Amino acid sequence: MNLKEAFQAQNKISALIGYIDGYLSDTDNLMTVTEKHLKSKALAGQSDESVDASQKSEENYDAHKMLAAWKTLTAERSALIAAISAAKCAMEFDFDATVDENKNRRSFIAVLHNMATLKSSHVLQKNKGMDYVFNNEGNQISYRYDIDQIKTIDYDRNEVRAMLKDLQKEADEVSLKIDAALLNTVVNYEAKIDLVEDNELILEELMK
């Protein structure tokens, strides 16, 4: 499989392990609850009755088999991670660092885009201001006045646009490099379980 398929397989295995973690963390799935309705003590001639009051999930998986499935999946994930790591080491560039750097690049592109589109503005806010003065009688009175609000950008927008263009080009080129590596890098790994199936079917197969 290629690196992209390997990552998809890793995500699927992790999702299955996460499901088992959640299932076994729910104590309702780990206990059988039996209620004994002691009717005979309350009324002569009535028979006692046992009722299953368990609150297990609809799947009702066997806990021991779930533990075994967890072991199988974690071993599978460990083998896959090792194969992915070996494939990355054989690359001509540091894949993880390149992906991380390009994420940062894309994030800053959004910042630059905002700066490139930001404009200076001029707004007259009618009667927005208020102050106080003393009148001829010596009394303090309030009065309203207009506020002329002027917003001016504190940088060269053309310089920002040029930087945005260069960084966008670089990010696109790196993305193509990453995509090519995902498709062309061979991961020496063969799954021991069928990861194409639906998660529920995979679990059922593991617990046979």
Question: Has residue 46 been placed in a domain?
Answer: no
Question: Has residue 22 been placed in a domain?
Answer: yes
Question: Has residue 143 been placed in a domain?
Answer: yes
7 vs 199: CA distance, rounded Å = 16
Q: Quote the tokens at residue 77.
A: 């994930």
CB proximity list for 190: less than 8 A, separation 6 or greater = none
Please write the tens of the pLDDT for every residue from 159-196. 999 999 999 999 999 999 999 999 999 999 998 888 88
Please write the tens of the pLDDT for every residue from 2-58. 999 999 999 999 999 999 999 999 999 988 889 999 988 888 889 999 998 888 888
Domain containing 141 equals 121-152
pTM metric for this prediction: 0.76
Which residue from 32, 27, 17, 22 is spatially nearest to 203, judged by alpha carbons? 17
Please write the tens of the pLDDT for every residue from 100-140. 999 999 999 999 999 999 999 999 999 999 999 999 888 99
Same domain, 1 and 26: yes
Question: Has residue 10 been placed in a domain?
Answer: yes
Same domain, 175 and 191: no
Question: Has residue 99 been placed in a domain?
Answer: yes
Same domain, 111 and 101: yes
